[in-house]
Amino acid sequence: MTAPRAVLVIDDDPEMGWVLASALAGAGWGATVVSSGAEALAWVLAAVLADAGWGATVVDGGGKPQAFLPKNAFPLAFLDARLPDMNGMELARELRRVRPGMRIVMISGYFFADDVEVADAIKESRIDGFLAKPFDLDAISAMLVTVPAWE
Amino acid sequence: MSLSRLDYESFFDAIMSTIPSSILVIDAALTVVHASRNFLEKSHAARSETIGRRLEDIFPEAFRDTALAQEVHEVIRSGRTVLRRRMSYRAPGVLLRIYAYSICPLPLDRGRSAAILVMDDVTDLLRLADEVRQAQLHLASVVESAGDLIISTDARGRILTWNGAAEVACGFSAQEARDRSFVDLIALPEKSEAALWFAEIVRRDHRRAAEWPMIRRDGEAIPVSWTLSCMTDTSGHVTGIVVVGRNLVEQRALEAQIHQAEKLAALGMVIGGIAHEIRNPLGVSSAAAQLLKRRTGSPQMREECVEKVIGGIARASAVVENLLRFARPGRLGETVRVDVVETLRNAFAFASGEAAAATTVTWDVEEEAAPLYAEGAQNLIELVLINLIANAFQAMPGGGELSLAVRREGCEIVIEIGDTGSGIKETDLSRIFDPFFTTRAESRRSGLGLALSHSIVRQHGGSIGVRSRWGSGTHFTIRLPGAESGAKARRNAGLRHAASA
């Protein structure tokens, strides 16, 4: 049995990480939950290397390997608007620069769905979608459907 | 010298040549009998060319149209003096000249009469007077049309002049303002300062600036910034005071507008912060409840979902609780004597988890026989200290120096918490105690910490202050009433609270 395809969840609230991972598991997806912009960038860089055919392993601060990434890991990232080390919009821009093919969906309590800042970010393709907290699990599933089959 | 020995002819000549006017003596036949030296110089004529000739012959043609000859004739006939008449004379190639003249009758012997014609060229004098008047008008209109209040007073402060701007700002006309004491226009309590300044400026500084409210005619006080300068005469003696005032009403309105805009921006930040703080746990509860509704997953998983639902709601409601505490700081409950040094040590121990590896700590605690006690709620004071120490640590992610100090100052206990971290930008310094103000985009930092700390310290009847320089660290000073005076300070705080409620 092959491991389920995984989504990158970037949220510093562990409770939120847990419910998102559970919801994704229910939809047949794996999830890697990270709580800072720096960690998210490390995982996405590893994914870029894996895409290019290099073996990439992300290790934690203590040097412990976290996971070995397969090719085409994380076709989608769920991203919070406020993180301990940077704001979500900035991180989205970085992620887009590093790995343009990855879909980025912001999930936040800070904005509302037709917020100008959010609307601009979608129009300029800095993010691909937005969900306001609290969100419908069905909306999460709907986001997964839009993920292209990368294989 | 006796009159009988006077040589009339010489006397007459002497006077004629001394008076700087052109003088002619003319008989009834309008023949020139005598001409002063001044006249001969002015008309470039020799005495022989003048004496014995008729009046119209010795004047240039341009004069012949004037009524001069007629007037001389009339004076001789009637014996009535003509005083200070004026005539203008324009000769080809010469600028217009203006003469003032007087004609007075001169009785001669044997019933004959003559007239004395005295003429002065007043062209330059008139031009000068005109220029002076123009300059005065110009100055007056500068003062009058100035946007600032320009007031002059005598050396004792009685108003002499008062321009249009003063009239508009104050509502008194220049006439109504005249002779009033300038100081009487200044509202209390600055009035006494103004009076003192008027007394002192004459003796010492000769120039001073201040901001005093001025009472308008309708009784309302308006903010005005004043500059006082002395007018002195050539010997340095003060002859009066020039008071220039700038009406600050519009500036104040503009400032209020800016302040309002800032308040709205701060409110936007507060609302965004609240939204984030509440919707995050609501999001957790909602997602967990939706997972439960699907009736899938293991019993442990469903148990965990129930915990998340309850936990999320509790977190959201704790945020609301904190907001209420901030918005309505109630009176402190039972207060006790709080050992400040011990509380600071506890807080330090609690917050030290946030410290970076290379952080050093210096303690500066005044050694006293008795512990330093503040009056208050121990847990709340500890919360403030934990918050400030944790902030200090977070400002030094690469390590630095934390300095903690406690001392007594009068009947206050002073706690100082300093760091060598990134510091606070000057533009942010005034806002750090605003609720939800944070320069960090972190979700865990609500931006309520300093606002709550401020609120708690105020509740204790104390104060909290901050000094910071961008790049070189931040220093908080907390002042709490000592245990002895604490009860009194708290009563006062309670009174303030009641008054504002």
Task: Please give, one letter per residue, the 3-state secondary structure of B377-395.
Answer: CHHHHHHHHHHHHHHHHHC
What does each C-alpha distance from B82 to B86, B115, B117, B246 come to in angstroms? 11, 10, 9, 55
- Average pLDDT of span B333-342: 83
Single out the residue of B329, B256, B351 nearest to residue B490, CA to CA.
B329
Beta strands (DSSP E) in B353-448 are 359-365, 373-376, 400-409, 412-419
User: Do B220 and B308 belong together in one domain?
Assistant: no
Q: Return the H-helix or E-strand segment holding B465.
A: strand B463-469
Residues 40-79 of A with CB under 8 A from B: none
B290–A23 C-beta distance less than 8 A: yes
Better-scored residue on pLDDT, B486 or A90:
A90
How far apart CA B272 and CA B274 sit, in angstroms, is 5
pLDDT value of residue B439:
61
B406, B414 contact by CB (below 8 A): yes
Q: Is A94 on the interface with B (CB under 8 A)?
A: no
Domain that holds residue B277: 254-327
d(CA B225, CA A126): 52
Q: Which class for B378: exposed (0-12), middle (13-18), buried (19 or more C-beta within 10 A)?
A: middle
> Average pLDDT in the B321-350 region?
79
Reported as a pLDDT band with limits 50, 70 and 90, residue B442 is very low
**In this structure, are B352 and B484 located in the same domain?**
yes
Residue numbers in B near A14 (CB within 8 A): none
Contact assignment for A135 to B287 by CB distance below 8 Å: yes
A19 touches chain B (CB under 8 A): yes
- Looking at the fold, whether B77 and B204 belong to one and the same domain comes out as no
Dihedral angle computed from the Cα positions of residues B457, B459, B460 and B465, in that order, rounded to the nearest 10 degrees: 30
Given an 8 Å threshold on Cβ–Cβ distance, is A134 in contact with B444? no
Task: Give the mean pLDDT of B451-457.
Answer: 85
Identify residue A92 by its one-letter amino acid code. A
Q: Do B38 and B56 belong to one domain? A: yes
Containing B254, the helix (H) or strand (E) segment is helix B249-293
B492 and B423 belong to one structural domain: yes
C-alpha angle with apex B199: B198 to B205, nearest 5 degrees? 75
Would you say A27 and A141 are in contact if contact means Cβ atoms under 8 Å apart? yes
Distance of CA B322 to the CA centre of its chain: 42
Percent of chain A with pLDDT over 70: 93
Domain presence at residue B135: no
Q: What angle (nearest 5°) sits at the alpha carbon of residue B54, between those of residues B48 and B57?
A: 85
Q: Which residue has the tokens 């321009």?
A: B163
pLDDT, position B476: 93
Whether residue B269 sits in one domain with residue B196: no
Residues B150 and B225 in one domain: yes
Give the CATH number, domain containing residue B259.
Answer: 1.10.287.130
Mean pLDDT of B298-315: 91
3-state secondary structure of B197: helix
Judged by a CB distance cut-off of 8 A, whether residue B237 touches chain A is: no
| Strands in A37-127 per DSSP E | 57-59, 65-68, 76-79, 103-108
Nearest CA in chain A to B444: A84
pLDDT tens sequence across A30-55 = 999 998 888 899 899 999 998 888 87
Shared-domain flag, residues B317 and B340? no
* Residue B284 forms contact with A (CB below 8 Å): yes
Among B293, B327, B361, residue at a domain's last position: B327
Q: Could A22 and B301 be called an inter-chain contact, meaning their C-beta atoms sit closer than 8 Å?
A: yes
Q: Taking residues B295-299, what's their average pLDDT?
A: 82
Regarding the domain delimited by A6-137, which CATH topology (the fold level of the hierarchy) does it fall under? Rossmann fold (3.40.50)
Q: How far is B432 from chain A (nearest CA, A)?
A: 18
Pairing type for strands B373-376 and B22-27 reads: unpaired
- Count residue pairs from A and B with Cβ separation < 8 A: 92
- Measured between CB atoms, does B288 come within 8 Å of chain A? yes
Q: Look at chain B and report how many structural domains it folds into.
A: 4
In a domain, B132, yes or no: no
Question: Of B383, B460, B475, which Cα lies nearest the Cα of B429?
Answer: B475
* Res B211: pLDDT: 87
Q: Which of A134-143, B95-104, B327-336 has the highest mean pLDDT?
A: A134-143
Which residues on chain A are in Cβ contact (under 8 Å) with B278? 109
pLDDT of B328 above 80:
no
Chain B contact present for A22, CB below 8 A = yes
**Closest to A79 (Cα-Cα) out of A23, A50, A39:** A39
In terms of domains, do B312 and B420 share one? no
Give which of B270, B274, B282, B284 to mutate to test A binding, by max A Cβ within 10 Å. Answer: B284
Query: Which residue in A18, A19, A118 has the most chain B C-beta atoms within 10 A of its own C-beta, making it the best mutation to test that interface?
Result: A19
Cα separation of B271 and A105, whole Å?
23
ipTM attached to this prediction: 0.85
The β-bridge relationship of strands B336-339 and A129-132 is unpaired
Q: In terms of residues, how long is chain A? A: 151
**Nearest of A53, A63, A98 to residue A77 by alpha carbon:** A98
Banded pLDDT at B446 (limits 50, 70, 90)? low
Cβ distance of A84 and B444 shorter than 8 Å:
yes
pLDDT class of B438 with cuts at 50, 70, 90: low
Residue B136 lies in a domain: no
Do B259 and B303 belong to one domain?
yes
Instruction: Tell whether A92 lies on the interface with B, counting CB pairs under 8 A.
Output: no
B93 shares a domain with B197: no
Task: Please state the domain extents for chain A.
Answer: 6-137
Element at A33 (helix H, strand E): strand A30-34
Answer whether residue B199 shows pLDDT above 70.
yes
Task: Note the pLDDT tens digit of each residue in A53-93.
Answer: 887 777 776 667 777 788 888 999 999 988 877 889 999 99
Report the DSSP beta bridge partners of residue B116. Answer: B25, B104
Residue B277 lies in a domain: yes
Report the C-alpha gap between B441 and B168 in whole angstroms: 51
CATH number at residue B195: 3.30.450.20
